[in-house]
Structure 1
Amino acid sequence: MNESAAAPASAAATPADPAAARPAAQPAAASPAAAQPAPKRRIAYWDNARFLLIVLVVIGHVISTVRTDSSLGFALYSFIYLFHMPAMILLSGLFSKPEASPKAVASTVQLLATWLLWEGVWAVIRAAVEGRAPGSGFLVNPSWTLWFLVTLATMRILLPYIARLRHPLLFSIALALASGLLPAVGTAFSASRTMVFMPFFVAGWLIRERGWLDGQWFTRPARAARIGAWALLGAVGIVFAVAVHLQDFWRIDRWLTWRDDYLTAFERGPIGDWQPTEWVSVSLGGIAVTALLLAMAAALTLAVLIVAPRRQSIITVWGARTLYVYLLHGPVVWVLRETGVIDAVAAWGVAGVLLLTAIAIAIALLLSMTWITRVFRVIIEPRVDWMLRRG
């Protein structure tokens, strides 16, 4: 996301650039103007990582409705969904602070305002095209991609309390594993995803708080580290690609949406013949599967962060606009679905999946353009100053 959704615009010193935390040498006789603190600068690395991840988000949504039409589509979807949102959540946590400062409050209020505004946008789209009025789940169950905004706002609100615990990361992991035990925890206000992804948000905050990624092994990873990271990403991707009968054995994609309790997850996505029905076996099995998937997500997230480019480039500029891509790609993909374009392209098999991937990348690039931010700023970053008390 851009800074309104994932990181404060003023964030400067990050684990990827420890030198940014050191003040520059000051002249012996600085003028009053020069004595003012310099504006904090963005770190190219984090924007680069954001752009890579938002491209994966768009690809996943483009192929979502046709993912079971081919083994390649299923493999690509499952691979992306295994780690792309955990990684996005981690970056969001990295730029969050466990405090209720005026700036933090304003950022969270703006996030909620954007969510409510876009719920209205989707309500209008559905009413105009489908003649469908908002139902009983309006605002309770976030529309499609809007769950991320609700989850992120909830995590920001909860972080000051979790940060006061002795072991905040262990607590968040326990919360994630326990989420599937409660059928009542579902899509309402994105509660299930909030609980499951909470460890990544807390880990992001701890990375910055405790300097876990400040070492040179991460800031300037050796060739061996990069090779290892690429090898891990490639190995997992290849496993998905060669397992052509994976969706017949395990609908892992249904687990990776993180909407269901463990019993429902096993009913919708049994693993071969393993479909426990007793509460104890369902609970222990669900916890084991969830722990494995989250561990894989953590490993792949770290691998992506290691291989992400660290130098300033054109994707650095695009990476600062990911909230625009995230929100605006939804209507674009929806139109492609409703008009049958995605189904028609997917019918070409492997070539269709590759073309849909190219279309998704093109959408991400288009929505990262400067003119997009100028035209749509009012509905992506609405002003909320009037809602907040001054002073």
Structure 2
Amino acid sequence: MTSASLHSRKSPESQPAGDASARNEERGGNAENSRAGSPETGRPKERDPFFDNAKYLAIALVACGHAWEPLRDGSRTAAALYIFVYAFHMPAFIIISGYFSRSFTARPAQLKRLITGVAVPYIIFEVAYTLFKRVANDDPTYPISLLDPWYLTWFLVALVVWRLSTPLWKIARWPVPLALAIAVLAAVSPDIGDDLDLQRVLQFMPFFVLGLVLKPEHFQLLRRREAKLLSLPVISGALLFAYWAAPRMNAAWFYKRDSAQELGAPAWTGGLMTLALFGCSTLLAACFFVWVPKRTMWFTALGAGTLYGYLLHGFLAKGSRFWDWYELPWLHTADGMIALTVFAAALVTSLCTPPVQRMFRFAMEPRMEWAFRKDPAGTARSRTADDVRPDAQRTPVPAGR
């Protein structure tokens, strides 16, 4: 990687696949990721392991993709796997984020969670990444800019914008076609600029809107055995196409950070590629969901900590470039690539664990009660609930009830 690319805020590896549909979507008690407990017992709702599994597997693919990125020039296999994974891992994460945003109506409690769980982590990590770059890359003058996200933080900006726009998409008659039209216009508009990474926000937005319109029954269809059988030829064909396209295709199309003209292509290709990649990415994301386990697995609990793995692994991913770790010839062999893949998956797995979550919760999920006015109506509702259901909170639930 050249020094010019390291100084750019639009580096290829800044493309996550990750949610980060952070824990905020579930913290509000969304029914989409839980099965409601008995209103009489007051039992807490249960998380659906399918979505936690999907988020963990997606974030593992994020880390693997970042590990493969420097290997692409010397390995067609690495380049093909990189293209294949980048075609769906980010769309899958964004679809999940949209799905868990369906109940967002900009209520005070929801806005508070959006600020503390997405906006504040963006500010903290934008500053932290910039300071890290200054030290690790010996670039002491590199500026801190909250309007120009660097590396992984762009996704947090996008999530804030998308979620705030949710009420508008919910009243639109044809939300997905409208979002696609906006994405097409962005793809042919080179003057949009870098502020808030607006190109990515607009070009990835159709996947968020698609998640908003999906219903539980759509995911149920993907749990059928027939869906697995149908996905096999799709995945096989996609891998073969990625291997063919690796030396011929500009992978920057998958980052959606530039217009067609900025990629050196005619303007009309921007609209065509936007529509083609939306169809391709949606199909591959569906195939990914088909193979996500539906039952509780050893990694299911880690799905609640994917934002931690996403943001924290970026320091090592970037550091490996700054410190020239990829200069080691062995890493560019088949054994080296396998070892890197295992290491990347293990690293991000460790960063999603509860001890790491407890250590960095101050930055990822700060409570910040001091920053918000108390909601008298919410306090009154809470008191009313306590008065009406005292037994539900103090009386043990009989076994088997």
How far apart are the structure 2 equivalents of 1:193 and 1:50? 20
- TM superposition shift of 1:153: 0.8
How far apart are the structure 1 equivalents of 2:305 and 2:272? 37
- For 2:262, the equivalent position in structure 1 comes to 264
How far apart are the structure 2 equivalents of 1:326 and 1:46? 16
Q: Matched residue of 1:312: which SS? A: coil
The answer to whether the aligner puts 1:45 opposite 2:50 as a matched pair is: yes
| 1:304-331 Cα shifts (integer Å, max 9, x gaps) | 1111100011111111110110011001
Residue 333 (structure 1) aligned to one of 317, 322, 337: 317
Q: Matched residue of 1:314: which SS? A: coil
- For 1:139, the equivalent position in structure 2 comes to 146
How far apart are the structure 1 equivalents of 2:352 and 2:297? 14
- TM superposition shift of 1:126: 2.4
Residue type of the partner of 1:81?
A: Y
CA separation of 1:159/1:239 partners in 2, compared to 1, >3 Å: closer, same or farther?
Answer: same
Long gaps (5+) in structure 1? 268-274, 276-281
How far apart are the structure 1 equivalents of 2:168 and 2:212? 13
Residue 108 (structure 1) aligned to one of 98, 114, 118: 114
How far apart are the structure 1 equivalents of 2:329 and 2:298? 30
The answer to whether the aligner puts 1:159 opposite 2:169 as a matched pair is: no
Contact in 2 for aligned 1:57/1:84 (Cα 8 Å):
yes
The answer to whether the aligner puts 1:249 opposite 2:254 as a matched pair is: no
Contact in 2 for aligned 1:6/1:92 (Cα 8 Å):
no
Contact in 1 for aligned 2:330/2:336 (Cα 8 Å):
yes
- For 1:125, the equivalent position in structure 2 comes to 132
- TM superposition shift of 1:65: 2.9
| 1:160-211 Cα shifts (integer Å, max 9, x gaps) | 1222222111111111111112112243202111111111111111114xx5
Contact in 1 for aligned 2:188/2:268 (Cα 8 Å):
no
Alignment TM-score, normalising by the size of structure 2: 0.82
Alignment TM-score, normalising by the size of structure 1: 0.84
Contact in 2 for aligned 1:337/1:343 (Cα 8 Å):
no
How far apart are the structure 2 equivalents of 1:333 and 1:232? 31
CA separation of 1:56/1:205 partners in 2, compared to 1, >3 Å: closer, same or farther?
Answer: same
Residue type of the partner of 1:262?
A: A
- For 2:96, the equivalent position in structure 1 comes to 91
- TM superposition shift of 1:337: 2.4
How far apart are the structure 1 equivalents of 2:324 and 2:161? 36
- For 1:284, the equivalent position in structure 2 comes to 268
- TM superposition shift of 1:234: 2.8
**Alignment RMSD (CA, Å):** 2.3
- For 1:221, the equivalent position in structure 2 comes to 224
How far apart are the structure 2 equivalents of 1:387 and 1:3? 24
How far apart are the structure 2 equivalents of 1:225 and 1:133? 53
- TM superposition shift of 1:76: 1.2
How far apart are the structure 2 equivalents of 1:112 and 1:346? 41
- For 1:169, the equivalent position in structure 2 comes to 176
How far apart are the structure 1 equivalents of 2:260 and 2:272? 11
Contact in 2 for aligned 1:11/1:95 (Cα 8 Å):
no
Q: Matched residue of 1:352: which SS? A: helix
- For 2:238, the equivalent position in structure 1 comes to 236
Contact in 1 for aligned 2:20/2:310 (Cα 8 Å):
no
CA separation of 1:51/1:378 partners in 2, compared to 1, >3 Å: closer, same or farther?
Answer: same
How far apart are the structure 2 equivalents of 1:11 and 1:76? 37
| Percent identity between the two aligned chains | 27
How far apart are the structure 2 equivalents of 1:374 and 1:343? 35
- For 1:75, the equivalent position in structure 2 comes to 80
Contact in 2 for aligned 1:45/1:310 (Cα 8 Å):
yes
CA separation of 1:6/1:287 partners in 2, compared to 1, >3 Å: closer, same or farther?
Answer: farther
Long gaps (5+) in structure 2? 1-18, 376-401
CA separation of 1:168/1:372 partners in 2, compared to 1, >3 Å: closer, same or farther?
Answer: same
Contact in 1 for aligned 2:182/2:202 (Cα 8 Å):
yes
Residue 55 (structure 1) aligned to one of 60, 67, 70: 60
Residue 338 (structure 2) aligned to one of 354, 375, 381: 354
Q: Which runs of 4+ in 1 moved over 6 A?
A: none
- TM superposition shift of 1:248: 3.7
The answer to whether the aligner puts 1:304 opposite 2:288 as a matched pair is: yes
Contact in 2 for aligned 1:262/1:286 (Cα 8 Å):
yes
How far apart are the structure 2 equivalents of 1:202 and 1:345? 44
How far apart are the structure 2 equivalents of 1:333 and 1:225? 35
How far apart are the structure 1 equivalents of 2:161 and 2:193? 15
CA separation of 1:2/1:240 partners in 2, compared to 1, >3 Å: closer, same or farther?
Answer: closer
